[in-house]
Structure 1
Amino acid sequence: MVATRERTVMAVTAITIAVAFATVLYLSKRRKNRSKLSTSEAELLLLEPEGEEEETEEVIRSPCCSTDLETKPQYMFKRVLADNSYSAFKHLKREEGETNDLSLKLHPYEDEITYMLENPPVLSYFNKSENCPDMDASYVWVDTQQKLEYLAELLSKEEVFAVDTEQHSIRSFLGFTALMQISTHKENFLVDTIALHDEMSILQPIFVNASICKVFHGSDNDILWLQRDFHIYIVNLFDTAKACTVLKKPKRSLAYLLENYCGVSTNKMMQREDWRIRPLSEEMFHYACVDSHYLLYIAHCLHTELKIQGHDFHRDNLYFIHEVFRLSNMACIQLYIKEFQSPPGESAAKSLISRYSNSQVGISLKDDRTREIIRCLCTWRDVMARIHDESLQYILSDNAIIDLALKVPKEAEEVYSVIEHADLNRDIPNIQSASSPSPVVIGHINDINHLLSEITNDIDNLFRRIFQRYIVQAKICPLSIYNYALLSELNVKLANLLFPIQNGNKSSVRVGKKTSRKERFVKKFSCKAPVYHNCRIYASDGRLLCYCDQRKIDWYLRRDLAKIVEHNPPGIVLLFEPKGRPEDEDNEFYIQSKKNICVGCGEKNHYLRYRIIPSCYRIHFPEHLKSHRSHDIVLLCVDCHEIAHSSAERYKNQIAVEFKIPLHVRKVVNSEENKGSTLSSSIVEGHEDVGVSPLHLRSAAMALLRHGSKMPSERFEELTQVISKCK
């Protein structure tokens, strides 16, 4: 009887799995034929909550979403490691017993990288690249699994090879790798990572092979992108950009190295081409090949210079080589993480309000209703971008959000007109399908109109309504491999955890407790908006000049001195040749992006500006060292700020004693009557009635300057006596 029951259960389970598999296969075929999922089909995959039909009907405005008519390359991927859900990214698990929590935090090859850092190899394989290679048009296009396996076998026999990648981020929420360039001493390979997205793990053993050196230029982003898309990690890396840093090169760009060592000019603006298109244009083929073709020779040249400098300065040929190796492989330990805010879009809204508050529309943004509209639109945009796998700027630009918040159109036609007008000067380069308003906005334009008319201060409730409409119901927007997890019941439960509501109020861990002193301090003094906007300014030849904030970008654009070429964060190309470039003054600091985190512990939620050089010393610096310089300003959280401040005070006291310079001026005295012009807090005896405090002196001087002519004679004489004590 028991055996029969078990067989029955197994049979039912097998039938259920078969039906589910057939359903998914059927829906996949329907999607390939560009046909829309019907409501009944969506309900096969998603459970509809009970008892919410009436409320849902009030929210729904648009009949359907027609944006699934376009088949994007990433929709053909069968396996996506980083989807658009709110769940954390899971890294590769090398051992079966390893828990999911560990896979979120630990680098799977940390032991191998650590061992190499402690035992750096002798990089002798660069000697094979002594002559600059000629650039011919030959390359091997790798777009099948068989070709990829051949490439993996070939690379396994190499000692070193060069790598570069091209990314696409405009028509994708997280972005994806569209092309990989690999060059050996003999051949160039262009790997179609779109066609081979699901097979790229074939190269994984090659990239973690410690006996093979991988040469990149500016590898920090490539390391994270390869983890995100393919679970490819890197062990044994030589980064030519890190070599430029150690050698203190005037420039660190690959364009500079190509021109300086190989006599080759390249247009870095090609990075913003649409690398999804197939076949690639002739210019794109050439650019892709050049990036990796010369990299081994450049690495050889830099390796030789590092050896010479090591011998000259430290009598050790390998001193600087090992330093570059250390910097390169330290970057390999970093892990890709998916970032999201609570609630979604909140960070973007704060950034928008902060940026535009300093511009001409700043006065209007002080209105609470305008700010709430911005927050609502940013929340809607975030959800839409995740569902449709589009970038935030493609869905709805920052300019459009600001204009909608300021004008608050009443009808759908007005919404369309406002967005279209706001994006007249928007430039998303070389993306043929980029239009304004975007297809997503057109498909949901009534929803935007509804949001504007039903604005609410309860941002969490707003997110729940949007979440219920597009995610729980799943009757409007198309399914894809990127939003399936987002549209599942699991993420509905996750949303309830992220945004819990209890008795109509947002729950808090510290309910009923008094706000701590630290929390009050954070609320009052911490930065209210991101400090670094990481906007880029490029020269007309495409070379990066500096990173800056949004205000400087707006300044150039308002005067028609530049055109915008990048979004999120913005980037502009100057329409004139600047007087100087950062590399001319050896100012590498200005061509580095900066993170809005505490530099001490990595805290992201709050931070304060901290001056490494105290103002009491800085005011005595030469003008060229203290004007328009931010080298000595860093971000610290409250705890790290307190530690740094205490240490700085101790060091200032030490300097005051060592050089006999008063740290705190208590009184200013007459220099003729007293040998010292100031009295410090440590010089007390016999001087209690001598001089006047700096604050009293300043107050008296300001009063005489501002109101001396109208002041009663007695008061005028009294303040004059205060000043005379210090003459």
Structure 2
Amino acid sequence: MEGQSGIRCGLDTEADSLHSYREKLCLVQFCCEDFLAVIDPLKIDHAVLSRFLEFLRPRVVWLHGADFDMTLILRTFGFLPEQILDTQLASRLVGHQRFGLANLIEDYFGVKLSKSSQKADWGSRPLKEKMLSYAYDDVRYLLPLADRLCEKLHELGRWGWFEEWCRFARQAVLNRRERAPEEVWRISGWGKLEREGLAYLRELWYWRDRESEILDRPSFRVMTNQSLLDLAMAAASGEEIRGARGLRPVQCERLREAIRTASSLKREEWPLKRVGLAKPREDINQFAFESLRKRRDEQASRLGLEPTIVATRSALETLANDRSRADEVLMSWQHELLFGDGDP
């Protein structure tokens, strides 16, 4: 079968993002036909791990919901296997509405997987037996599931679409850049604040980051983004901030110091509302946009797909104003669906 020449394998990863300040790779689950293994990157000898990575490099590697795993592997090891195929993308391309791994395994094999260790601390050692069982199950059915989905992709004539989508997803991870250090504090919702509020938000974000590092826990466990925004807005309106729920006295004192730092800034030191050289959002050509959306939705309905698989709203907005940018925002099969006959 295409995409399965030579040795193929399946992978999954576990991290400690819910429990640590700096997320790290804690476990790699591996399957190769009838062989299952878990690999502990926190304990295993580096030379052994390097040989495993070299084994993966030319293989066809199956993942489910690959973006997170690819990002973690790339950040940890500085490379990605050359060919990565994603059962989640495959399931969406054949029309599944429920495409979580547990949903698909139940649908295809009648097996209900436990989710009890989904939010476990994978950085702790030794791992509990139920955690190891959960880890094995994440790859136990991965290749049989891939086989079933591949059959459907070929039946529907969408194998080429799938391969291109997987290449596109892998390249997107390779091209992704970390946010500039001077902009990391601009959390979702920052645009609602005026410049003075942004000055408070910036100092509060760095306060939270320092507290997270001290405690070695994720930032959201110190204070949520919404709470940061609320505090920034309250401080900018002149409200006195003495502390926040759940903080110890010493943390409250450091919080007040961050607020005092922000309040001492001069107006010209406040952050700008516009990020870097970002341009104001263009007005969308609504007639062209609606025409493209109608075409997209018709094609999606005909094929039994979610409309966003054919084209995202962002892509439609870009194309509505400048169709020459199609190659930037669409894969070749998406282009054919929007502007050609779009079969199958």
TM-score, normalized by length of structure 2? Answer: 0.70
Give the whole-Å Cα distance in 2 for the aligned partners of 1:198 and 1:450. 44
How many residue pairs match? The answer is 303
Aligned equivalent of 1:456: 264
Give the whole-Å Cα distance in 2 for the aligned partners of 1:612 and 1:401. 36
Residue 218 (structure 1) aligned to one of 65, 73, 82:
65
C-alpha deviations, 1:668-699, integer Å up to 9, x for none?
Answer: xxxxxxxxxxxxxxxxxxxxxxxxxxxxxxxx
CA RMSD in angstroms, aligned pairs only: 4.2
Aligned equivalent of 2:331: none
3-state SS of 2:33 partner? coil
In 2 relative to 1, CA 309–389 (structure 1 residues): closer, same or farther, beyond 3 Å? Answer: same
Matched, 1:283 2:130: yes
* Larger proportion of helix: 2
Give the whole-Å Cα distance in 2 for the aligned partners of 1:370 and 1:124. 54
In 2 relative to 1, CA 529–264 (structure 1 residues): closer, same or farther, beyond 3 Å? Answer: farther
Matched, 1:614 2:287: yes
Counterpart amino acid of 2:257?
A: H
Counterpart amino acid of 2:133?
A: H
3-state SS of 2:182 partner? coil
Q: 1:351-390 maps to which residues of 2 (within 5 A)?
A: 351-354=188-191, 370-382=197-209, 385=212, 390=217
Give the whole-Å Cα distance in 2 for the aligned partners of 1:198 and 1:607. 49
C-alpha deviations, 1:653-672, integer Å up to 9, x for none?
Answer: xxxxxxxxxxxxxxxxxxxx
CA contact (8 A) 1:171 1:391 kept: yes
Which has the larger Rg? 1
CA contact (8 A) 2:286 2:320 kept: no
Aligned equivalent of 1:397: 224
In 2 relative to 1, CA 646–294 (structure 1 residues): closer, same or farther, beyond 3 Å? Answer: closer
In 2 relative to 1, CA 372–236 (structure 1 residues): closer, same or farther, beyond 3 Å? Answer: closer
C-alpha deviations, 1:36-82, integer Å up to 9, x for none?
Answer: xxxxxxxxxxxxxxxxxxxxxxxxxxxxxxxxxxxxxxxxxxxxxxx
CA apart distance, 1:161:
1.4
Give the whole-Å Cα distance in 1 for the aligned partners of 2:133 and 2:227. 37
Give the whole-Å Cα distance in 2 for the aligned partners of 1:245 and 1:610. 32
3-state SS of 1:634 partner? helix
Give the whole-Å Cα distance in 2 for the aligned partners of 1:202 and 1:391. 32
Aligned equivalent of 2:52: 203
Residue 634 (structure 1) aligned to one of 314, 330, 338:
314
In 2 relative to 1, CA 612–225 (structure 1 residues): closer, same or farther, beyond 3 Å? Answer: farther
Give the whole-Å Cα distance in 1 for the aligned partners of 2:91 and 2:65. 10
Give the whole-Å Cα distance in 2 for the aligned partners of 1:214 and 1:159. 9
Give the whole-Å Cα distance in 1 for the aligned partners of 2:45 and 2:285. 47
Q: 1:201-600 maps to which residues of 2 (within 5 A)?
A: 201-209=50-58, 212-268=59-115, 270-310=117-157, 320-333=158-171, 334-335=173-174, 337-342=177-182, 344-345=184-185, 347-348=186-187, 351-354=188-191, 370-382=197-209, 385=212, 390-402=217-229, 404-405=231-232, 406=234, 408-409=239-240, 414-415=242-243, 419-420=244-245, 436-437=246-247, 443-454=250-261, 455-458=263-266
Give the whole-Å Cα distance in 1 for the aligned partners of 2:212 and 2:21. 6
Aligned equivalent of 1:122: 2
Give the whole-Å Cα distance in 2 for the aligned partners of 1:632 and 1:229. 30
CA apart distance, 1:370:
4.8
C-alpha deviations, 1:99-136, integer Å up to 9, x for none?
Answer: xxxxxxxxxxxxxxxxxxxxxx83456xxxxxxxxxxx
Counterpart amino acid of 2:314?
A: V
In 2 relative to 1, CA 607–274 (structure 1 residues): closer, same or farther, beyond 3 Å? Answer: farther
Aligned equivalent of 1:644: 322
Counterpart amino acid of 1:338?
A: E
Give the whole-Å Cα distance in 2 for the aligned partners of 1:616 and 1:301. 37
Give the whole-Å Cα distance in 2 for the aligned partners of 1:617 and 1:228. 40
CA apart distance, 1:343:
5.0
Aligned equivalent of 1:161: 9
C-alpha deviations, 1:133-171, integer Å up to 9, x for none?
Answer: xxxxxxxxxxxxxxxxxxxxxxxxx71111111122134
CA contact (8 A) 1:226 1:233 kept: yes
CA contact (8 A) 1:610 1:635 kept: no
Give the whole-Å Cα distance in 1 for the aligned partners of 2:250 and 2:268. 24
Consecutive unaligned residues in structure 1, runs of 5 or more: 1-120, 126-157, 311-319, 358-364, 421-435, 463-505, 507-522, 531-602, 648-727
In 2 relative to 1, CA 458–613 (structure 1 residues): closer, same or farther, beyond 3 Å? Answer: same
Give the whole-Å Cα distance in 2 for the aligned partners of 1:616 and 1:202. 51
In 2 relative to 1, CA 251–612 (structure 1 residues): closer, same or farther, beyond 3 Å? Answer: farther
CA contact (8 A) 2:19 2:121 kept: no
TM-score, normalized by length of structure 1? Answer: 0.36
- Higher RCO structure, 1 or 2 (CA under 8 Å, sep 6+): 2
Give the whole-Å Cα distance in 2 for the aligned partners of 1:399 and 1:196. 40
Give the whole-Å Cα distance in 2 for the aligned partners of 1:340 and 1:383. 18
Aligned equivalent of 1:702: none
In 2 relative to 1, CA 278–606 (structure 1 residues): closer, same or farther, beyond 3 Å? Answer: farther
CA apart distance, 1:274:
1.9
Aligned equivalent of 1:709: none
In 2 relative to 1, CA 646–446 (structure 1 residues): closer, same or farther, beyond 3 Å? Answer: same
CA contact (8 A) 1:166 1:271 kept: no
CA apart distance, 1:226:
0.2
CA contact (8 A) 1:613 1:632 kept: no
Consecutive unaligned residues in structure 2, runs of 5 or more: 299-306, 326-344
CA apart distance, 1:252:
2.3
CA apart distance, 1:379:
3.3
C-alpha deviations, 1:269-300, integer Å up to 9, x for none?
Answer: 74322222223333322221111000111111
3-state SS of 1:447 partner? helix
